Amino acid sequence: MTENTPSIVVVGSVNLDIVVPVPHHPRPGETVLGSDHFSNPGGKGANQAVAAARLGQRVAMVGCVGDDDAGADLRASLEVEGVDADRVVALGGVPTGIALISVDQEGENTIIVSPGANTRVDAEAVEGAQDLLASAKVTLLQLEIPVETVAAAAGAACGMVVLNPAPGRPLDHDLLAQVDVLVPNLGELAMLSGDEVPGAGLDAAEALASTIQGPGAVVVTLGSQGALVVAGGDSVHILGAEVRAVDTTAAGDSFCGALADGLVRGLELEAAARWAVKAAALTVTRQGAQPSLPTRAEVEGLTT
């Protein structure tokens, strides 16, 4: 691996986030007046790429945007963050993906994604990134692009494969068997295991995680409660850091980017997850997606 070869390759989504702070999330048929909206770069794939880059990793992004102002701005934003965006293709005739996000007074969010160009991230995009996937230590994947593309990227990866199965959906065993570390939240874990309603508490999380066949390990994100690492028949609960949550947007993405960073640096999975819990905790103390992602110095400085 040369000095400039990316250590992490992210195959995933690139979105423009439009965020509205609200007093509470609307019920069906209800109109809620929010505060002034703002926009910032987002998309689970791009967020995770920036998260890892801010922690000091060399990162390449593979994805699609529209041939529009938003797409140009998002590619430029990735490059400013030090992410190699050469494999982020601008497509004519389709819009760049957007996410409509409401954030309530407790910092909890609801998100509607209009994927746009993200639905066009296909096998051809994976083929165009074969060199990157062959040399990267970690390939980081999510589900805001077609599942078939995720499977192709996992199959082409020669390093460790980390899959964040979000948005949640059932996945077949062939894909899961190619995953080294699966990183769901409780809701996504329940969907993967066939439960309609996620269980509450550590026991429920551990029981559900043990039913997932295929991945080498499962790391369940638990929000303010930290994370649960389940591997080799053992489980370890990592406590969350005590912080004041302002906006939970991108907390999971921050966790995944930091987890990948730790794995690239040779940390054992439990240690990498502890590092990721700290990064995610810092993320919820700030508004927005990518603007909230911490640097290595900030994570190192957080005491838990």
Buried b / exposed e over 128-157, threshold 16 CB at 10 Å, is ebeebbebbbbbbbbbbbbeebbbbbbebb
**Number of neighbouring beta carbons within 10 Å of residue 116:** 23
**What is the helix (H) or strand (E) element at residue 126, kind and residue range?**
helix 123-127
Token duo for residue 124: 């051809």
Beta partners for residue 40, in sequence order: 17
**Number of neighbouring beta carbons within 10 Å of residue 285:** 16
Active-site residue, selected from the candidate residues 180, 247, 253, 261: 253
**Number of neighbouring beta carbons within 10 Å of residue 23:** 10
**Annotated catalytic residue 253:** yes
User: What does DSSP assign to residue 229?
Assistant: E
Token duo for residue 32: 């809620």
Instruction: Tell me whether strands 217-221 and 227-231 are parallel, antiparallel or unpaired.
Output: antiparallel
Closest CA to 279 of 259, 263, 264, 268: 259
Closest CA to 222 of 206, 244, 233: 206
Closest CA to 19 of 89, 135, 112: 112
Provide the annotated active-site residues.
253
